[in-house]
Structure 1
Amino acid sequence: MAMVCQLNKLSTEKLGFIPNLDLNKFDHLRHPEQLTFNFKDDPSTLVGATYTFTGSDGRRRRVRITKVLYRAEGIIGRCSIVVEVVCLCEEADCVWHEEGNQKTRVMKISFPSKTRPCEDGLIGEARSKAESSGQRWALNHLPEVIDSITFPYHEHTTVQGRLKKHLKDDYEERVMRVTFLEKLHPLSELTDPREYAQVFYDILQIHQWLYECVGILHRDLSSGNIMYRRIDGKVYGVLNDFDLSSRVRDMDKGPTSNQRTGTRPFMSVDLLSPVWEGGHLYRHDLESLFYIMLCLACRYIAPGVPAAEPRSFSLWFSGTDREIFNDKNTFLLDPFQSLPVQSYFAGFQRWLRKIYDQFRGGYIQRPFFAKNLSTSNEELEESEDEDLEFLQTDNDLIFDWNTLNRHVSYARMRSVMSSFKGKSLQTRWVGNPDH
């Protein structure tokens, strides 16, 4: 309790909470405990606050928050805050204005692990690769970073710095990163099922291109990270939020953070498993894409309109890792599994059934490796845990874990998703037919 009282005496900057955020008009928010309480119940409290920063061009800017788009609920992790902002600069040559009008931008404040690759760097690599390789189509499916600033926590003046000094390697050091991006559109603003299908197909294509041509694995596909933009009236799916992404060449060197990677309702069975040791594979992201489409089609009666009682897969949004792991295992291993697609999204029934069959076909063939389990063979044979039964198959040492023995791959997903209700969708990139 004494420690909490001492923390309450510190400024928000010394606490390590958003330096340069002006809360002078909101005196009740300057108290850290009150600020946390208000964010939890009503994150819109930030609307009207201003943020001042020096951009990479050396220009001092001040922006006003006009809308809160997202605020993470977790205590440990990035704790991202995503808001819409407008620039308050009055200079005529300000590039943040368009034809004399304020242009809305998105500001993301996150607290990633210091060892993670920075989001703007990864996006910059991808955009440069698209231009230098003549693959400019990819630019339509990548976010555009306008500016990014990283704030390390000083060793002697912040709580984080002092904790690191005291706990040493047991404390995961973080930085505060403020990133300004082009404003994109969320999935909920689409009004045509075929446009949804095109966006999802675009995400599959840009994900494959990033993995094979740039060497970047996204690692956090979720409904909130799939956006779109319109160009000349046509819709283009955009893969957003590279905070948890990794360079493929670095993934064998070990994790870049001590925290589990992914958004839990859409995480693959493997990554939820307490015994999985195989790392994050590209087909785990494809499994996430499947869950995103599944939850949208089964839990929403129209764009942005959830079903009155969206019971389908509800445990995935509220359960523990273990509960979600068990429930997804049961779901994927049931040969008679029904997919309760809502009528508005009926066109996705074929997609979802075929992709479900691909994942189920791969999961039921997984070999059993005793070294991956915390229990002995004898204990396992006596166990009544249904979630472990599927592992008891022949120990096939040549099993291809990357594709679940060729059941799940980019090529197989493309074969399903390249057309919708019998009509071809726009293929942006042919890709490698062997993957």
Structure 2
Amino acid sequence: MSSSTSSSSSYSDDSDSFESYYSDMSTTSTPNKRRSAGVANQTLENVTPHMQDDVQGMLCPDAPIEAFVQHVWGVHPDEISAIFGNSWTLPPEHLDKYRATVLEKKLYEPFQLIAVDLVNQARKLLRKDASCPVKFWHKEGEYVIKSKVSTLRKPDMLSFLTLATLIKISWFFARTFFEFKDTDHKHRKRVHKPTVSSTSALPLVPEGVPSEDPGPSMTTSDSHQVVHRSSLVKSMRGKSRRGSHSTTRLRRDSTPATSAEGVFATPLPSITTPPQPITPQKRKNEGSDSSANKRIHLTPKVTKEQIQLALYALESMDASTRHYTTGFFIDRYKVSLWYFDRACIIRSEPFDFTQDPWKLVLALYALSVCDDKHAGYDPHLFPPPSGIPTEASSGDSIAEDVVGSKLIFPPMDGLSDSIEFLVRRIIFEYRGLIGRGTMVYEVLRLGRTEAEALKISWPLTIRDLEATIIRTLRERIPGWKDHLPEVSFSTTLTAEELGLPRVQLLKQVPPTDFRLEDRHMHAMAGELYKKLWEVDSVAEFEQVFLDCVECHYHAFNEGKVLHRDLSENNLMFKRKEGEVKGILNDWDMASFLDVTNKVRNTTAKHRTGTIPFMACDLLVDDPPAHLYRHDLESFFYILVWAAILYDFKNKAILRVPKPLANWDAGEMSRVRQAKGSFITYKLETDLIMNLIQPAFHGIRDKWILPLRMLFKNALRSIDDEADQNPSYDIETCGGHITFLTFMKALNREPRTLA
């Protein structure tokens, strides 16, 4: 299924590595920008612009706080009701320091102390162990955490189980992350620093001095929100302790506070919105339950300030087989809770913790009681005996690393026993946030002696499963099954079966134009194969290449499947009885064909491929349907790429020279121009041909040059004939590019296998 090593390449100009444009990044539009998953040098500067593209349109806003903590962190409705019904006091000393702070990084310590105090209050109320089991960790945003791919991040604050901090500060152990901002502070001048009362419902300031951030005042619409909030809590548990109209208030001092200069600090006046006159039409609309009368809001964009939170989520998801992760976004007093998984981002309704301290208490308390599953960790991952205990009183533990742990899947296909895999090493790991999230491991299955590859991904539910496609092909073209991956195990678990919080949360958010493109988890295991550059000689390379070209044709012609994502990583091999056999791998982007031998409409217009190997036709903003000849063009580019970069002696890939790096330039238009020029203009052709290594000169002369002429003539025929000839066959460029013409250019006769 996968290789024993992972492909990597570096450019002389530090440009991004090649990447795939996955058709299931979106079902409503064709991606035409790079994704964060394909950025090789994942510095903050390189990843941030791609992350901004990744997350736009994926945010579902304003989930109720109660629903968020219940479905994400597993807080019981009775506990939610108890916290809602209690009167809470923010610790005065720490709140005063928080309010007086000017620098953002100086907010971390007072907030940390506020958090611990509130968690202890809540645990005492709910008769939990008094000591807070969660550590709110920070180093004023100056501590660098290095990820597995050497990405450097300096998070504002992380929460850990206290025991985990004794072992290692890492993204793997971080339960959640915090991003602090002070956006209002950036747009005003601070006159002086008043000392304020910490028990007022709003921040207090000297008269005439602009406020820090008083937050929204109670308006007529806000009062309806209070009633709704109480009703929601009651619907989760029953009648609230304080009744349906209770609101949580801070205790107030009886004496006014004074500033450092001795000036009395008075509360800001409440700004209310006068009630609007109710017209008969308005009353009619408000009384209607018709969905047509519900206001549909536009899905909000993730702001540049919030992108940092998504970058933390990227590190958290990449550090393990995590199903989801969470974060806090704190803009001085305004707090929102964030949920990230492979399909979407869900944000809670924002709140001002000085006005609604119970919401902050609820969120922080949730962190202190959530178990591993509700922290987003994969429930199928089981650590070795040396794992880190999650609670002093329990036998549960989390793995310090995926490697050395076990992945255990429930019984399936009539089997009575679970399927267990010991993870020996990571072969490939996805470096994006939203999307397939593919992870490939070398594993050893319990009861077997041969290592296998285990691939876990999150494909769109509307797509055919990779395991299904492979099994279908092995049945339809049995003579070529030696050149197809062998699947020994596969399973699929839906979001409902996994208990992902998004299932319930999305039912309780206000209506917006957000549309979920649902994903499920697909796990598949099979034989472990080697990469194309790990063959021993050019002769073996030729054999593997031919095997894959012919297998690809028969999969298309008789198997009725088009691969659509050919790259150097998908042409693999195994050794059988002393001979190499090419394996055409990674069918997760493949599509079944309809009765007319065309890709089904659901995926026909969704661009797929890996940039250096994608056909020129597809490198446009509005690409045509993916055709068989586009895959043949990909084979051609793989051949050129290999002749320049493969070092069979050392089983390695050489550094990409700058002319070839243009095949993976930042803009698709540049890539299209570079490849088109290579095919059509002799000067550009010679520039690339001169890079080919001496060991590949034979392949250059007998394969690459004839194929280049084949594609040049095909492109010329489009210009010369397509517009004038109504019967011109665009699918084959007028008959120029077919399996037979491709094999003729290679000077090889197609094999006929029984």
Report the Cα distance in structure 1 between the residues aligned to 2:433 and 2:558, rounded to whole angstroms. Answer: 35
Alignment-mate amino acid for residue 56 of structure 1: D
Which of 425, 433, 437 does residue 75 from structure 1 map onto?
Answer: 433
**Which letter does structure 2 place at the counterpart of 1:81?**
M
- Structure 2 CA distance for partners of 1:394 and 1:61, relative to 1, 3 Å: closer
Q: Which residue of 1 aligns with 2:454?
A: 107
Please state if 1:221 is matched with 2:566.
yes
Find the residue that maps to 1:297 and give its secondary structure.
Answer: helix
1:294 aligns with 2:651: no
Cα distance in 1 for residues equivalent to 2:485 and 2:722 = 43
Report what 2:522 is aligned to.
Answer: 177
Q: TM-score, normalised by structure 2?
A: 0.45
Residues 105 and 182 of structure 1 are in contact (CA less than 8 Å); yes or no, is this contact kept in structure 2? yes
Deviations 1:359-381 (A, max 9, x none): 1221233259xxxxxxxxxxxxx
Pair 103,279 (structure 1): closer, same or farther in 2 beyond 3 Å = same
Instruction: Tell me, in whole angstroms, the C-alpha distance in 1 between the residues paired with 2:505 and 2:692.
Output: 49
Task: Provide closer, same or farther for how the CA distance between residues 212 and 28 of structure 1 changes in structure 2, counting only shifts above 3 A.
Answer: farther
Question: 1:183-231 CA deviation, whole Å, 9 max, x = no partner?
Answer: 1122122011011111111111111111111101111111111111222
Equivalent pair of 2:494/2:520 in contact (CA under 8 Å): yes
1:341 to 692, 695, 699: 692
Secondary structure at the aligned position of 1:314 is classed as helix
1:248 and 2:586 matched: no
Shift of the 234–247 alpha-carbon distance from structure 1 to 2, 3 Å rule, reads: same
Give the distance between the partners of 1:226 and 1:356, measured in 2 at CA.
20
Given the superposition, is the C-alpha separation of residues 327 and 164 from structure 1 closer, same or farther in structure 2, using an over 3 Å criterion? farther
TM-superposed CA distance for 1:413, in Å, is 1.1
**Contiguous gaps of at least 5 residues in structure 2:** 1-178, 180-308, 310-325, 329-336, 341-366, 391-399
How far does residue 310 in structure 1 lie from its aligned partner after superposition? 2.7
C-alpha distance in 1 between matches for 2:617 and 2:698: 29
| Amino acid of the structure 2 residue aligned with 1:217 | L
Q: State the aligned residue count.
A: 371
Say whether the 8 Å CA contact 1:69–1:83 is kept in structure 2: yes
Q: CA deviation at 1:141?
A: 0.6
Alignment of 1:378-397 (within 5 A): 394-397=723-726
Per the alignment, residue 327 of structure 2 pairs with: 4
Pair 1:81–1:156, CA change in 2 (3 A): closer
**What are the equivalent positions in structure 2 for 1:195-274 lying under 5 Å apart?**
195-249=540-594, 251=598, 253-256=600-603, 260-274=607-621
Structure with the largest fraction of helix:
1
| Separation of aligned partners in 2, 1:228 and 1:417 | 20
Separation (CA, whole Å) in 2 of partners of 1:257 and 1:19: 36
> Which of 534, 556, 572 does residue 189 from structure 1 map onto?
534
- TM-fit CA distance, 1:182: 1.1
In the other structure, the counterpart of 2:53 is: none
Asked if the contact 2:707/2:746 (under 8 Å) is kept, the reply is no
**CA RMSD across the alignment:** 3.2
- Tell me which moved more, 359-368 or 286-295: 359-368
Equivalent pair of 1:120/1:148 in contact (CA under 8 Å):
yes
1:429 aligns with 2:752: yes
Alpha-carbon separation, structure 2, partners of 1:321 and 1:357: 23
Aligned to 1:325: 672
Q: Percent identity?
A: 27
Alpha-carbon separation, structure 2, partners of 1:324 and 1:400 = 26
1:207 & 1:290 partners in 2: Cα distance? 14
Mapped to 2, the partners of 1:258 and 1:218 lie a distance apart of: 14
Alignment of 1:363 with 2:720, yes or no, is no
| Corresponding position of 1:50 | 406
| Contact 1:301-1:344 at 8 Å conserved across structures | no
The aligned residue for residue 35 of structure 1 is: none
Cα distance between partner residues in 2 of 1:197 and 1:273: 32
Q: Is the 8 A contact 1:155 1:161 kept in 2?
A: no
Q: Which runs of 4+ in 1 moved over 6 A?
A: none
| Equivalent position amino acid for 2:403 in 1 | V
CA distance in 1, matches of 2:422, 2:403: 8
Contact 2:619 2:671 in 1 (8 A): yes
Is 2:470 the counterpart of 1:118?
Answer: no
Q: Which residue of 1 aligns with 2:418?
A: 60
| Change in 2 beyond 3 A, CA 1:164/1:408 | farther
Distance 1:80 1:156, change over 3 A: closer
Structure 2: how far apart are the matches of 1:296 and 1:67?
26
**Shift of residue 328 of structure 1?**
2.1
Q: Deviations over 1:312-346 (max 9, x none)?
A: 42133352333322322332331441223111222
Alpha carbons of structure 1 residues 309 and 235: separation in structure 2 relative to 1, 3 Å: closer
Structure 1 unmatched runs, 5+:
30-43, 369-391
Alignment map for 1:9-48 (pairs within 5 Å): 13=373, 18-22=378-382, 45-48=401-404
Alpha-carbon separation, structure 1, partners of 2:570 and 2:527: 14
Aligned letter for 2:491?
Answer: I
The 2-side partners of 1:268 and 1:163 are apart by: 41
Residues 604, 625 of structure 2: 8 Å contact kept? no
Query: What letter matches 2:557 in structure 1?
Result: E
CA distance in 2, matches of 1:104, 1:168: 47
| Aligned counterpart, 1:129 | 476
| Letter matched to residue 274 of structure 1 | D
Q: Distance in 1 between matches of 2:513 and 2:497?
A: 12
Bigger Rg, structure 1 or 2: 2
2:500 is aligned to 158
User: 1:388 aligns to what?
Assistant: none
- Aligned to 1:177, what secondary structure does the other structure show? strand
- Cα distance 1:157–1:129, how it changes in 2: closer, same or farther (>3 A)? closer
2:733 corresponds to which residue?
404
Q: Distance in 2 between matches of 1:270 and 1:196?
A: 28
- SS of equivalent residue, structure 2 residue 431: coil
CA contact (8 A) 2:599 2:626 kept: no
CA deviations 1:252-276 (Å, max 9, x no partner) are 5423499631122211111121133
Name the CA shift for 1:257/1:204 in 2 (closer, same or farther; >3 Å): closer
Question: Counterpart in 2 of 1:379?
Answer: none
* Larger relative contact order (Cα-Cα within 8 Å, sequence gap ≥ 6): 2
Distance in 2 between residues matched to 1:202 and 1:364, nearest whole Å: 29
Amino acid at match of 2:462: T
Cα distance, 1:156 vs structure 2: 10
1:353 is matched with: 705
Counterpart selection for 2:481 from 133, 139, 142: 139
